[in-house]
Structure 1
Amino acid sequence: MSGRASDLPGDLDDIVGDWLTVPDVAERLGIEAGRVRRLLQEGRLLGVRRGTPPVVSVPAAFLVPGHLANPAAPDPTATAGSAVLSALQGTLTVLRDTGFDDAEAVRWFFTDEESLGATPIAALRAGRKTEVRRVAQALL
């Protein structure tokens, strides 16, 4: 990638595809909507305001089957249901440290990255956290 996420072409809706509202995320995770809002505030999950009227929405790709929360070490004993991709929080911290806002971070996660041969979110879901964070750190 050359340049900051804000320089990338494309509308977030076009590159992300499936979105979930806070109540949808809560249902998938089996928690209260207030807990989802705390995950967003704590930087453990990422969402942006979108739609009319604008509501906080989370890319569905940030949630994975519970046993794949850490795709590098799947847990066959994990309970059924969904979980937040474990590598998301640390990667998001790196992006925020480089100055990305939430919309820029979402755009970066879903834009093809030549050095990864995939989008950063696809690489994270494949268990390639170290490579993704290395690329994110190079954005300084």
Structure 2
Amino acid sequence: MTEPRLADHDLAALVADWLTWDEAGRELGVTPAKVRTMVRDHQLAAAKPAPDRPQGVPALFLVDGEPVKGLPGLLTLLHDSGFDDRECIAWIFLDADLPGRPIDALRENRGSEVKRRAQALAL
């Protein structure tokens, strides 16, 4: 049996807390339009966690009013490897034997190993 594709993972099950554009904007101190720009520029990622839910940003992507340290570079790296936002979010929230999930490593300032593993995806 093969692993499910990243795009097929249930994001609502992987990510417990989601922020709307307005909530993310308030947390970042910017407008919802700026949040959309940040997503477009790969500083953040957004997706619909479920078909019946609006697009949002995982709450764990923000800390102290900013994107988690290392997240923008990681997202750019994953996008350069052909991932879309949904796949990026799934990869970041799945256990990648770091130990733990890449999002936890980023939030604990252990981003070097996460980026190394992401770079290996491109090979």
> Taking structure 1 as the reference length, what is the TM-score of the superposition?
0.78
Residue by residue, what CA displacement relative to the aligned partner does 1:80-105 show, whole Å, maximum 9, x if unpaired? xx211131110011111111111111
Q: How does 1:12-31 map to 2 (within 5 A)?
A: 12-31=11-30
Contact 2:18 2:59 in 1 (8 A): yes
8 A Cα contact 2:6 2:91, kept in partner: no
Displacement of 1:6 after TM fit? 2.2
- CA deviation after TM superposition for structure 1 residue 128, in Å: 1.1
CA-CA distance at 1:5 after TM superposition: 7.6
Q: What amino acid maps onto 1:123 in structure 2?
A: A
| Structure 2: stretches of 5+ with no match in the other structure | none
Q: Distance in 1 between matches of 2:49 and 2:7?
A: 18
TM-score calculated relative to the size of structure 2:
0.87
2:46 corresponds to = 47
Pairs aligned (count): 121
State the superposition RMSD in angstroms: 2.2
Deviation digits for residues 18-45 of structure 1 (CA, Å, limit 9, x no counterpart): 0001001011112111111111111111
Structure 2 residue identity aligned to 1:109: I
Structure exhibiting the larger radius of gyration computed from Cα positions: 1
SS in 2 for 1:46: coil
Sequence identity percentage: 38
- The reply to whether residue 34 of structure 1 matches residue 16 of structure 2 is no
For structure 1, the 5+ residue unaligned runs are 66-81
Any idea what the Cα deviations from partners look like across 1:41-94, whole Å, max 9, x if unmatched?
1111110134565522000000012xxxxxxxxxxxxxxxx2111311100111
Say if 1:5 and 1:100, in contact at 8 Å, map to a contact too.
Answer: no
Match in the other structure for 1:64: 63
